Structure 1
């Protein structure tokens, strides 16, 4: 018999939200895993004792996380999704009949809070990852990604025009008779004037988002972007640090600041940073000196400008000079920008058999070398080892997939907020959402591994095999396995841990 569903809306309904959220739902598990109450203390300084009540800081942060977990790139879309999703309502603690926050409230609250609030949430989640044994801290892979800004190249103005326009707008603001439409038309006129010239960061910038910068990748069109830097632990691909810079900066200029922040974050959790893996874009004298100053081992291929050995010339570090094949010395004559110049005059090469293929018709033979040559030499020799080849493969399989996930699935392809501070908050929350996913997966994985180990120990009795002890030490919190050398204690701890 064919069934036919007849829907008639009930006037009264008894409904308990928690009964309709599955136990394995991600938002239900997040509520059980993370205690967000520390946010009340973190945000207390942003509110006064009187006035209208704001949105709950915990609700705000949960909505931000839900937005990145669902790849929702705007506050309006977050609220629209919230209207249809029971699990997100349960996550933020809103019942079916409660009025939801306005999307503009999310934007204003994001602008209100400082970066330290978002960073504290990220570090709180990272700390739980560390406590689960997911982060070794020893080796970090660093890479960058361009994040599209919420601004258009067509609206860029020349810097001189923009300066005059800002003064003019201030004068107009004091005159209530003139409308905002007039200001907009002047901005458009300024943008049209700049179209005829070549767009560069030195001559133009965006009046909508002055912190954005023009940048381009080979084979792609130029855009107004931010430069996001991501540090990933190679043990289980957990993000340990993110930071946003202006897009006209090179990766090598960002690395010293990243090293300090990553090392500090790990030190707060009693972990020691030892190795850094990055690509050639991070190679520079300042980067290599920063690694040396912090006693870190880097695996960064040298830039193409660096030459380890000049064919036909031998460098002598004791006397700081080059010796040619004929035994003549090229002495240091000074600096040219960042390069050291070693020269010999043509009159010293008149009887040289290699004159035609070496100095030719030039008055001087010049060999250029960077003033940071000892650091480049050390890195060059290190990159010839088999371990360096493994590290480069590890970098590709570690940080690059993480950045791909952030861009394609966690809403970091483009930021809807404006300003480098707001972009930093967005990248920090996306990284926090990524680590939350890793944390949830790790919890299930450890539980399953623990269950298997309990069965093995129960089968073998009190004789715990050395291999099982090693597996326990690697997968379970070290605090749980501190007595694993005692078979009786280990059996007891494993059994109790599994039952709980």
Structure 2
């Protein structure tokens, strides 16, 4: 049950706050700027208002999480600091002498349970934009778009290595705990055998165990072979496994990759306030989420007339979408400013799973593998000129999608990208205008915002597993980043 407690309890020592905590303290400024009572409205449905024992005040719990992001602290350190830091005690609504505060584990439960079925990301962004509008700060109509990567907390496993690990764990348990002889178990292949061979060996081992009444009834053995079965099933669907099933491999260049997720963002060009954020796995291309970022920005209270992005957003679909929306509804459309990249717009075929990665400057297959080389094929009679990308055949032979993407026995796997269309030729003329060049000079601002989120607002690495936890972390990071930006702009006016 919620017991609203918005004011500091009566205390003979409350005067210490006026003496010790300066007026320009960031948490004093936060209290003056934000009415945190909105937390009751947004997550109150996940509490009982009439039954049960009193819960920790949701506003105070939300403030704990905000302090964690602003000061970049662990859950335990946030609680420890709240015991001795008068600035935090005032912000959290505690009396100066208070010593009976929450356990650190309560913060974890609050994050995971109290924000279920709540669109916390857009709620917090919309709240900050409303504050900026009320203060007369947010007036522009241009957003900058980009995606920043967030490294997963989990370690990526190659599927074959993970299956070998599961098989060996099961075998060791049978030998050491149940005194089974290795010679009596199905033979295991060499370590350098391919994935299919290890999958067959795993299936044989599981089938053997299920035939032994003395083994299949043991709960520990059953758990181990079920984990092996899950690993083998996953290996047939994708080439990498992880404790974080929502994270995937993405590429920053041909040499540099990351394992995690992407946050696709919109940032207002003048104030640099974040207007929208959308989370996907790390392998997703940037350009597919342009329309969603624009619509989310509008729903959050931002008027969008112009969108500026890097070469990743100059896909044919995005250029057509911006053009069609502006023609159908000039008031609701937008102008796209994004330099053409020949390789990204020269005809990547729709719905075949292949995408262009502008960071690595090459094509990516549906399973996330980069092309190893490319060559230009000159125009021949009756055919268009094209770039032809070649993939590593050894990877294609092991790929779980090989039945639909790779012909058995082929010596190479190539993918061709055709020459420019009339739409792109028209867009090239637009790129040469002074208006276009002026807008593109603003794009650097979103790179600085990405750095600010990572290094000052705790969004460099996921703190837990799963999309829900990352969404919560991103929402708090964006909220803290926007609030600090608003405070800086307000102080600059004084």
TM-score (norm 1): 0.65
- The correspondence for 1:294, drawn from 296, 305, 325, is 325
Alignment of structure 1 residues 60-459 onto 2, 5 Å: 60-72=61-73, 74-95=74-95, 96-112=97-113, 113-114=115-116, 115-154=118-157, 157=162, 178-179=219-220, 183=223, 202-206=238-242, 208-218=243-253, 221-266=256-301, 272-295=303-326, 296-305=334-343, 337=349, 365-367=383-385, 373-396=421-444, 398-446=445-493, 448=494
SS at match of 2:284: coil
Give deviations 1:422-477, integer Å, cap 9, x for gaps.
Answer: 2122112111111111111222222x2xxxxxxxxxxxxxxxxxxxxxxxxxxxxx
* Counterparts in 2 of 1:390 and 1:411: CA distance versus 1, 3 Å: same
Once residues 15 and 434 of structure 1 are traced to their aligned partners in structure 2, the CA distance between those partners, rounded to angstroms, is 30
Note the alpha carbon deviations across 1:293-329, whole angstroms, 9 max, x for none: 4321011111222689xxxxxxxxxxxxxxxxxxxxx
Alignment check: 8 A CA contact 2:122 2:300 kept: no
SS at match of 2:264: strand
CA contact (8 A) 1:243 1:427 kept: no
Distance 1:394 1:150 in 2: 33
Which stretches in structure 1 are left out of the alignment for 5+ residues? 1-12, 309-334, 340-356, 449-500
Task: Note if 1:21 corresponds to 2:21.
Answer: yes
SS of residue paired to 2:289: helix
**CA 1:229 to 1:337, structure 2 compared with 1: closer, same or farther past 3 Å?**
closer
Q: Secondary structure at the match of 1:294?
A: helix
1:82 and 1:200, CA in 2 relative to 1: closer, same or farther beyond 3 A?
A: farther
RMSD: 3.8
Secondary structure of 2:119 counterpart: helix
Structure 1 residue matching 2:24: 3-state secondary structure: coil
SS in 2 for 1:262: helix
CA distance in 2, matches of 1:375, 1:432: 39
Q: Which has the larger radius of gyration?
A: 1
Matched residue of 1:381: which SS?
helix
Alpha-carbon distance in structure 1 between the residues aligned to 2:125 and 2:345: 42
2:27/2:87 contact within 8 Å kept: yes
Question: Structure 1 residue 109: deviation in Å?
Answer: 1.4
The corresponding residue for 1:473 is: none
Q: SS at 1:140's partner residue?
A: strand
Worse-matched range after superposition: 402-411 or 380-389? 380-389
Classify 1:307/1:52 alpha carbon distance in 2 versus 1 (closer, same or farther; 3 Å): closer
Deviation at 1:71, TM superposition (A): 2.1
C-alpha separation in 1, matches of 2:348 and 2:32: 62
Q: Secondary structure at the match of 1:230?
A: strand
Contact 2:121 2:474 in 1 (8 A): no
User: What TM-score comes out, normalization by structure 2 length?
Assistant: 0.66
Cα distance between partner residues in 2 of 1:289 and 1:58: 45
Secondary structure (helix, strand or coil) at the match of 1:242 reads: strand
- Contact 1:338 1:371 (8 Å CA) reproduced: no
Structure 1 79/338 Cα, relative in aligned 2: closer, same or farther at 3 Å? same
Q: Aligned partners of 2:422, 2:378: CA distance in 1, in Å?
A: 26
* Residues 249 and 258, structure 2, Cα contact 8 Å, conserved in 1: yes
Please give the alpha-carbon distance, in whole angstroms, between the structure 2 residues aligned to 1:116 and 1:76: 27
Unaligned runs of 5+ in 2: 1-11, 164-194, 211-215, 327-333, 352-376, 387-416
User: Structure 1 residue 211: deviation in Å?
Assistant: 0.5
Q: Number of aligned pairs?
A: 370
